[in-house]
Chains A and B, each alone.
Chain A
């Protein structure tokens, strides 16, 4: 398996522009997670899906952020409009089942977003 795939790997955009990050989870994994990592705040969970349905979006910072999972093999995280403080590395992860039963998460390589 190719693992979790994210695109783009790097994104540089100007403040006010729309940014879309993409993720393809490992085939057969029912859970998909979006994280953000910054030096100041570390690694934070933004939202996670189970069977394409958003379960917990309490980590989404504000209404400028939205995430969708139209099918089992694709998810997007959109920021509109983007701001410089959104600059971070965004990771997507997937797992076979709920972490409640003790399974591992597999992380993608991340998208490094820079908003100028």
Chain B
């Protein structure tokens, strides 16, 4: 399974875009890139996923590089409630493996 690398922490100003990077240089052709987040004491929350193309939904945008070796999750207008740990997961099967993630702190 492909391994992911994320920065341990990031800060973002409220109202600005939050860009969370993820490296997955060993990703294989059929592995999806998933993003989840976990707000303190709550269960992980699905954000978005993609295979090859960029994806957008009501929560975020996912930009995957052409070689698929890295991706960026974009929260277009971060709010204080977006403060959470964000997990980037690359997986082909049902065995989702959550790493340490990136702790995003949105500051007023």
| Docked complex Cα distance between A107 and B91 (Å) | 18
Contact yes or no, A99 B43, CB < 8 A? no
B100: chain A residues at CB < 8 Å are 42
Contact yes or no, B43 A42, CB < 8 A? no
| Docked complex Cα distance between A50 and B42 (Å) | 25
Interface residue B29 (Cβ < 8 Å from any Cβ of A): no
SS class, residues of chain A in contact with chain B: strand
Contact yes or no, B43 A98, CB < 8 A? no
* Distance between A40 CB and nearest chain B CB, rounded to angstroms: 12
Q: Which of A72-116 contact B (CB under 8 A)?
A: 91, 93, 98-100, 102, 104-110
| Docked complex Cα distance between A105 and B98 (Å) | 13
Contact yes or no, B32 A102, CB < 8 A? yes
The residue of chain A having its C-beta at the shortest distance from the C-beta of B97 within the complex is A45
A105: chain B residues at CB < 8 Å are 36, 44, 46, 96
Given the known interface contacts A42-B98, A99-B96, the answer about A91 and B91 at a Cβ–Cβ threshold of 8 Å is no
User: Could you list 9 further interchain pairs (A-B, Cβ under 8 angstroms) beyond the known A33-B96, A48-B94, A100-B92?
Assistant: A33-B94, A43-B44, A56-B95, A91-B44, A98-B94, A102-B32, A107-B43, A109-B43, A110-B42
Residues of A within 8 A of B (CB): 4, 31, 33, 42-43, 45, 48, 55-56, 59, 91, 93, 98-100, 102, 104-110
Sample (29) of A-B pairs whose CB atoms are under 8 Å apart: A33-B94, A42-B100, A43-B44, A43-B98, A45-B96, A45-B97, A48-B95, A55-B94, A91-B43, A91-B44, A93-B43, A99-B91, A99-B93, A100-B92, A100-B93, A102-B32, A104-B34, A104-B49, A105-B44, A105-B46, A105-B96, A106-B46, A107-B44, A107-B45, A108-B43, A109-B42, A109-B43, A110-B42, A110-B43
Closest 7 CB pairs of A and B: A107-B43, A104-B46, A43-B98, A102-B32, A99-B94, A107-B44, A91-B43
Residues of B within 8 A of A (CB): 32, 34, 36, 41-46, 49, 51, 91-100
